[in-house]
Structure 1
Amino acid sequence: MGLGEDGPDGLPPASRQALAEAEIVMGAERHLSLLPDLAAETVVWPVPFANGIPVLLSHRGKRAVMLASGDPFWFGAGSVMARHMTRGEWRALPVPSTMALAAAALGWPLEQTYTTGLHAAPYARLKPHLFNGTRILATLRDGAAVAELADWLRAEGFGASTLHILEALGGQRERIRTTQAEAPQPDDIQHPVSIGIEVAGNGAVIPLASGRPDALFDNDGQITKRPVRALTLSALAPKPGEHLWDIGGGSGSIGIEWLWSHPTTQATAVEIDPDRAQRIRANAARLGVDRLTVVTGGAPEALEGLAPPDAVFIGGGISQEMLETVWTTLPQGARLVANAVTLEAEVLLANWHGDKGGDLMRIELAQSKPLGRKRGWKSAYPIVQWSVTK
């Protein structure tokens, strides 16, 4: 059940009735303190949050009420609890969400505002959304998190951003203050707190089109270069909810760009070199997609036990054994894209193309380079790309 900062006064009739009929009421100590004396047994939700789930589930068969802030299914606990119960076991009773209250307070249209929860997530989740003029609403862990977020924005080159600090929205303690990320932050910010960000600054941004600048990715030279990456992502054709295997992850650029395509996509990077595997993890965390899974090991052995893929990219170490293993594992309708640089790998892909079909493309690129006092074309190694749907 959703609860606002004004306690039971603003609750709809259905929520009041649920409290009146409850045998068990569980919630954070702050939530319980907002309620009047209840006939029901009250239980303080423990920290961390996960510890409270079995406690609530132990009361199956009783009339139990779980208290949450605002709308439990808008960056709240509702989706977590719904995974542990059948649809007929629970009913959600929301009140206005933190995001709705914040948008109303600031006059921001929610459909044009990026909303997210940072109360239990790294600030780097904002990285793909840092564009001048973007408006962001986010929940935060506590008052100290405002200064931490401001420091992060400043380090990313967006210290000129305007911050709207929103405390206890909808309650008697409601307070809204405006400051700059580059300025000192108040030290008396009270929980619960959310923040509105008007992004401004000269920091590096992540473009929206596939084939982002190579400089975004820390690498040791083992990286699918920008033009080829754009063609590769186009062939992989990510869709919401799909899972990618990026075999021979290198810098992680393919898997990271796959994850940028939609918030529900998943990816697993397989990299045999431990240093590169750690670099992939660092790139993913810094660029806002810490959900990238990194497996240190060689293919095909390291593929055993992974969740089935919807698409597979092979960017290095192509062999007959690897292709056979991947093809056997690949579900019907899944996509495979492989890039080859060596003549031996080209022959291998040509043979598989002849047997399995799909598209075989030769990519030849050249860049302008100084040639004496003039300029000339310097060609990169040609790449052969095979793409196929099983």
Structure 2
Amino acid sequence: MTPARQGPPSVVTVVGIGADGWRGLAEPSRAELCRAEVLIGGPRQLDLLPAECVGERVAWPSPLRPAVPRLLAAHAGRRIAVLASGDPMFYGIGRALAEEADAVRVLPHPSSVSHAAARLGWPLEDVEVVTLVGRPTARLAAALHDGRRLLVLSADASTPGEVAALLSDRGFGPSRMRVLEQLGGDRERTTAETTADDWARTQHPCDPLNIVAVECRRAPDTLRLGAVPGLPDAAYEHDGQLTKRHVRAATLGALAPAPGELLWDIGGGSGSIAIEWMRTHPSCRAVTVERDRVRAERILRNAERLGVPGLRVVTGAAPAALSELPAPDAVFVGGGLTAPGLLDACWAALPRGGRLVANTVTLESEALLADAHRRHGGELVRLAVAHAVPVGGFTGWRQAMPVTQWAVQKIDNPSPGADR
């Protein structure tokens, strides 16, 4: 049993600091740094402090996040001040400290995003912020929409070039780019506006402390990708195993993704359901289970292409491959319904309030869904889509195979005759 903590909780003060260093700090921030017995921060940030900050200076090790609890424990009982770039609670160290420390007091500074919006004259409420600090550049692709303004938080001096290359590759080469460096400091600089295509073709030296401003412009021949589920089928690389656009939109509607939720996508095929689940919100997560290794690799390529490189792909057969997965908020079964025990395993894994959606086009699997509907309730529907096609010199309808869909939410109060 862990002994109870004695005395009042220790408070960690987090001080935001900008490129202007000590002279840009407000008096309360200066006072806290002067009183601190321990000063923790990056080497660049610690070098900004004057001699009157007499506390022991401790540089963050790499990787940083695992070191947070260890450093706090090593200096327990001492007055600790942590330096952070700009606003510590905006993609900063403040979050990790709030999770680990007894108590946190935050003294923020204007973030680089606030400085950039002020320099550019961009209202912040109309700007999307994407961080590439410790994250793959491919995640930027999910934010690309014609006419949108983006502020991209850079990892280092190479980020602007990587952003330009991605924009060009995804058909947004005409987008306007500027790089803002050392915002708020004596060496502040903003590059001349250019297109992503031009930037990608030319070597542009950049300061490591930078933010990239992008005004998105889609090339005329680039496939348009909307912000809601139901992307064009042509957006995916596939071998025919693809939940088609209209059925996909209906399926995501039934799954009802919400921020922060985790989806199991079983029988991933081309990964379209999991990918569009994750595109609904940056915090949505998904695991795709696909037994075919070639298809699993294809899912990864589709995920990177469409801006959700964090999609986890498990190569294996369900239900065996489900045993080590984290508990889902929702489950989609798009293949393998006839595998013994699959539906029961998915149902057992769902928490209260979780959703399960299963699609099929075969009579054998349809019988399984009818039985599951009888036992658990929910909604059983048939989705039919027809496309207009040439018929001689005229136009007629070509019917796609109808899809039977079972959608259910797990609740605690079953109705008579249904185990919900």
Distance 1:144 1:389 in 2: 46
Q: Give the corresponding residue for 1:74.
A: 90
In the alignment, residue 151 of structure 2 is paired with which amino acid? L
CA positional deviation for 1:83: 2.5
Q: C-alpha offsets along residues 182-239 of structure 1, whole Å, 9 cap, x if unaligned?
A: 2245644223111111112313342022211111111111110001101111111112
Q: Give the corresponding residue for 2:133.
A: 119
Moved more, 159-168 or 323-332: 323-332
Q: C-alpha offsets along residues 15-68 of structure 1, whole Å, 9 cap, x if unaligned?
A: 112111111112222112211113111122233434643553222222122211
Matched, 1:271 2:290: yes
Q: Aligned in 2, Cα 1:349/1:52: closer, same or farther, shift over 3 Å?
A: closer
In the alignment, residue 77 of structure 1 is paired with which amino acid? I
1:209 to 218, 223, 228: 228
State the secondary structure of the residue aligned to 1:332: coil
Q: C-alpha offsets along residues 349-388 of structure 1, whole Å, 9 cap, x if unaligned?
A: 1122122211111122222223334333222211111111
Q: Give the corresponding residue for 2:302.
A: 283
Residues 183-262 of structure 1 aligned to structure 2 (within 5 Å): 183-184=198-199, 185=202, 187-202=204-219, 203-262=222-281
1:162 to 176, 182, 196: 176
TM-score by length of 2: 0.88
State the secondary structure of the residue aligned to 2:214: strand
1:379 to 386, 396, 399: 399
Q: Give the corresponding residue for 1:343.
A: 363
Q: State the superposition RMSD in angstroms.
A: 1.7
CA positional deviation for 1:289: 1.1
Moved more, 324-333 or 206-215: 324-333
5+ residue gaps, structure 2, are 1-14, 411-420
Q: For the Cα contact (< 8 Å) 1:128–1:205, is it kept in 2?
A: no
- The percent of aligned pairs where both chains have the same amino acid is 47
Q: For the Cα contact (< 8 Å) 1:143–1:188, is it kept in 2?
A: yes
Matched, 1:171 2:161: no
Q: Aligned in 2, Cα 1:163/1:81: closer, same or farther, shift over 3 Å?
A: same
Q: Give the corresponding residue for 1:297.
A: 316
Q: For the Cα contact (< 8 Å) 2:359–2:404, is it kept in 1?
A: yes
State the secondary structure of the residue aligned to 2:162: helix
In the alignment, residue 98 of structure 1 is paired with which amino acid? S
Distance 1:364 1:150 in 2: 42
State the secondary structure of the residue aligned to 2:105: coil
1:151 to 165, 172, 177: 165
Q: C-alpha offsets along residues 228-253 of structure 1, whole Å, 9 cap, x if unaligned?
A: 10111111111222211111111110
Moved more, 50-59 or 266-275: 50-59
CA positional deviation for 1:113: 0.3
Distance 1:382 1:205 in 2: 27
State the secondary structure of the residue aligned to 2:208: coil
State the secondary structure of the residue aligned to 2:314: strand
CA positional deviation for 1:149: 1.6
Q: Aligned in 2, Cα 1:74/1:204: closer, same or farther, shift over 3 Å?
A: farther
5+ residue gaps, structure 1, are none
Distance 2:205 2:366 in 1: 64
Distance 2:372 2:65 in 1: 48
Q: Give the corresponding residue for 1:137.
A: 151
Distance 1:186 1:168 in 2: 20
TM-score by length of 1: 0.94
